[in-house]
Amino acid sequence: MSIFIDKNTKLVVQGITGRDGSFHTKQMIEYGTQVVAGVTPGKGGQLFEGTVPIFNTVEDAVKATGANTSVIYVPPPFAADAIMEAASSGVQLVVCITEGVPVLDMTRVYPFVKERGVRLLGPNCPGLISPGQSKVGIIPGRICAEGPVGVVSRSGTLTYEIVFQLTRAGIGQTSCVGIGGDPINGTNFIDCLMAFEKDPHTKAIAMMGEIGGTDEQDAAKFIKENMKKPVVGFIAGQTAPPGRRMGHAGAIISGSAGTAAEKIEAFEAAGMGVAKRPIDFVDLIKARLK
C-alpha cells in the first residue's frame, strides 16, 4: 500500500516546458507515473515529448484528462498563484517543489487550499514517492524499494540519505514523503503519521526533523497519545548555534523550543527510537520490524 499517491494517480505538471519541469517530467514518466497533462500558459495544444498534451490552464487539463494530482515547477513569484489555480481545478493533491516562495504568499495560500479540502505538499519540498507505484516530484526512484517502512522528512537531501541507507540494508518503503522545511507548509508530520498509522502495509516509520519551530515536539506528543506503530526519529542541525538559520527557512532556533536537545528529549519521552546519525536508522528500524 502507500499514502497520498499510488498507481491510480493521474498527474498534471505545471511548468512542464521549463528546465526543471521538463527534466523531472521525463524522470516521472520513466518511473511509471501516469503523467496525463502539462500546463504552460500560451502553449496549449502542443505535446510534451510527443505524447503528453499541454494546456493553458489546470482547469482545462483536469477537465480533459481527469487528472487528480498536480506538481508545480514554476518560479517563486508565480508559485502561490499556481497552487491556488491547482486547488481550484478539482485535483485532490497539489505538490509544490518550488523553493523560495515568500512566507507572506503562503499566508494567503494555506487557508485558500484548506477551504477547498485539497491537500498541499510543500512548498520547497522534494515531493513524494510510493515505490513501484508512482513518483511525484524529484526523489530519485532508483534509491527506493518496495517494503514496510514509511518515511517522512523536512529535509529533501536527508530523505535521500535515509532511503538509500534503508534500501541498501534490504528495508523497503511504503511511501517516502518530503514535507519541506518552510515556516508555512501544507502538510506536516502529524498528517503523514496519521496516514501511515492507517496504512495496513506500513509497519514502522522513519521521521527526520530539524532544528527550528515545534513541529517535532507536536509530532512526538501525537505519537505518544495516538500511535501503535513504532517510530524512529532524527534531528538535523544538532550543532547549529542559536539564532543562526541553517538550510531551510524554518530551521532557526528561537529560545529553547527549537533546539535539537529539546526535540530529542520530546522523542525520548514519546518512546520513540532516536537515531544519532542517519545510518543508525537501519539497526533501529530493523529492531522494530521483528
Question: Cβ contacts of residue 225 below 8 Å, gap of 6+?
Answer: none
CA distances from 202 to 76, 127, 140, 176 (A): 35, 19, 21, 11
Q: What is the pLDDT of residue 248?
A: 55
CATH superfamily to which 139-289 belongs:
Succinyl-CoA synthetase domains (3.40.50.261)
Q: How far is CA 259 from the centre of its chain?
A: 23
186 within 8 A of 172, measured Cβ to Cβ: no
Q: Which CATH number fits domain 10-121: 3.40.50.720, 3.40.1010.10, 3.40.640.10, 3.30.2080.10?
A: 3.40.50.720
pTM greater than the 0.85 cutoff:
yes
Give me the active site residues, please.
Answer: 248
Spell out, as residue ranges, where the chain has pLDDT lower than 70. 239-257
CA–CA dist 189, 154 (Å, integer): 8
Q: What is the pLDDT of residue 259?
A: 85
Asked if 10-121 and 139-289 have one fold, the answer is yes
Number of CB atoms found within 10 A of residue 107's CB: 12
Sheet with 273-274, side-by-side order of all strands: 134-137, 127-130, 173-178, 146-153, 204-210, 231-236, 273-274
CA–CA dist 144, 131 (Å, integer): 6
* Residue ranges covered by each domain of the chain: 10-121, 139-289
